[in-house]
Amino acid sequence: MNLARRLLIGVPYLWLFALFLVPFLIVLKISMSDYAISIPPYTPTLDLSEGWAGFRVFWAALDFENYVFLTSDDLYWKAYLSSLQIAALATFFTLLIGFPIAYAMANAPDEWRPSLMMLVILPFWTSFLIRVYAWIGILSNEGFLNQILMWTGLVSEPLVILNTNTAVYIGIVYTYLPFMILPIYSTLEKLDGSLLEAAQDLGCTKIGAFWSVTVHLAKPGVIAGCFLVFIPALGEFVIPSLLGGSKTLMIGKVLWEEFFSNRDWPVASAVAIILLLILIIPIVLFQRNEQKQREADQ
């Protein structure tokens, strides 16, 4: 392997080392520290300036007190379970909406597809925070949605949507819908229409052919889209804070409160490490799915 190829391969590894491994080790180090009223608000158990002596002291005093504390307070495991539930349901709803849109785009005339693609990615041209704030005006008691419902006579009084889990689901589905549509569309666009005709010639109904051929061949895009929605939704902070209110319990909100409200950096770092370990599972599954898809394409 020549030097140029080694440098080319080394760039992504260097990127991961600088922007993932190093921050992870810093957070892990803080999670092993003790809380203190100081700046920064913790007393490190590992002092790198002392060299190997510092490592020996660290190993001698090593404990998992902050991680044990997470198991003693039900707030944290309830937040993890609530986040998993909200992220999973939001991913399911996103799939229900995103698959028909991607299917319609894949079957649209060729000259329409660039415009449809632009409409899908158009929300990215606006700040994420501004888009979430816009939903506050839509979902509030005097918001646009309630005004439409009352004007049409569907409801007699405003619906309470804002500051509920329903608003969180709406916000997550709206925000991450393009991440579901694009990989499914990329898969369906390559679908050979003659396979559907062959399935019908062999006795399948249109619904059976759709399920056996279209859905089956779109599985790699569906899996990729679900992972791309579920992984960031699990640690989401902005949407539950702005749309969910105080009653919505998600681990991203707990993490923010521990860091900036309670200023308990060691416990907050332990929360972040556990969240990262939970996220590693779908990330590894996603990578394996991508590898299998690449091997199938070769």
Question: Where are the domains positioned within the chain?
Answer: 64-297
Q: Classify burial at 207, counting beta carbons within 10 Å of its beta carbon; exposed 0-12, middle 13-18, buried 19 or more.
A: exposed
The pLDDT-based confidence of 82 (bands split at 50, 70, 90) is very high
Residue that wins the pLDDT comparison between 238 and 194: 238
Q: What is the DSSP string of 23-42?
A: HHHHHHHHHTSEE-SSSSSE
- Per-residue pLDDT at 172 exceeds 90: yes
- Quote the pLDDT of residue 79: 92
Q: What is the pLDDT of the chain when averaged over all its residues?
A: 84
List, for residues 43-73, the tens digit of each pLDDT value: 777 666 555 555 565 555 667 888 888 888 8
Percent of the chain with pLDDT over 70: 91
- Quote the pLDDT of residue 230: 93
Rounded Cα–Cα distance for residues 128 and 298 (Å) = 37
A 10 A CB-CB count for 6 gives 9
- Per-residue pLDDT at 238 exceeds 70: yes
Averaged pLDDT, 27-42: 81
Which residue has tokens 């309830």? Answer: 78
- Where residue 40 falls (left for φ over 0; alpha for ψ -120 to 50; beta otherwise) is beta
The pLDDT-based confidence of 96 (bands split at 50, 70, 90) is very high
Beta bridge partners of 39: none
- Where residue 205 falls (left for φ over 0; alpha for ψ -120 to 50; beta otherwise) is beta
Rounded Cα–Cα distance for residues 38 and 254 (Å) = 22
Instruction: Give the DSSP letter of residue 43.
Output: E
99-113, 217-231, 244-258, 282-296, range with the lowest pLDDT: 282-296
- Quote the pLDDT of residue 94: 96
Task: Write phi, then psi, for 43 (nearest 5 degrees).
Answer: -110, 110
Instruction: Give the DSSP letter of residue 261.
Output: I
pTM: 0.85
Q: How many residues does the chain have?
A: 298
List, for residues 110-158, the tens digit of each pLDDT value: 889 889 999 999 888 888 889 999 999 999 888 889 899 888 888 888 8
- Per-residue pLDDT at 160 exceeds 60: yes
Q: How many CA atoms lie within 13 A of 175 on its CB side?
A: 28
Write out the CATH class of domain 64-297.
Answer: mainly alpha
The pLDDT-based confidence of 184 (bands split at 50, 70, 90) is very high
Whether 144 and 227 have beta carbons less than 8 Å apart is answered as no
Whether 241 and 169 have beta carbons less than 8 Å apart is answered as no
Averaged pLDDT, 68-96: 92
Q: For residue 66, which amino acid is it?
A: N
Rounded Cα–Cα distance for residues 51 and 55 (Å) = 7
Task: Write phi, then psi, for 42 (nearest 5 degrees).
Answer: -160, 155
| Alpha helices (H) in 202-264, listed in sequence order | 206-209, 216-217, 219-234, 238-239, 251-256
A 10 A CB-CB count for 140 gives 17
Whether 273 and 235 have beta carbons less than 8 Å apart is answered as no
The encoded tokens of residue 100 equal: 């028909």
- Quote the pLDDT of residue 57: 56
Averaged pLDDT, 227-255: 89
The pLDDT-based confidence of 179 (bands split at 50, 70, 90) is very high
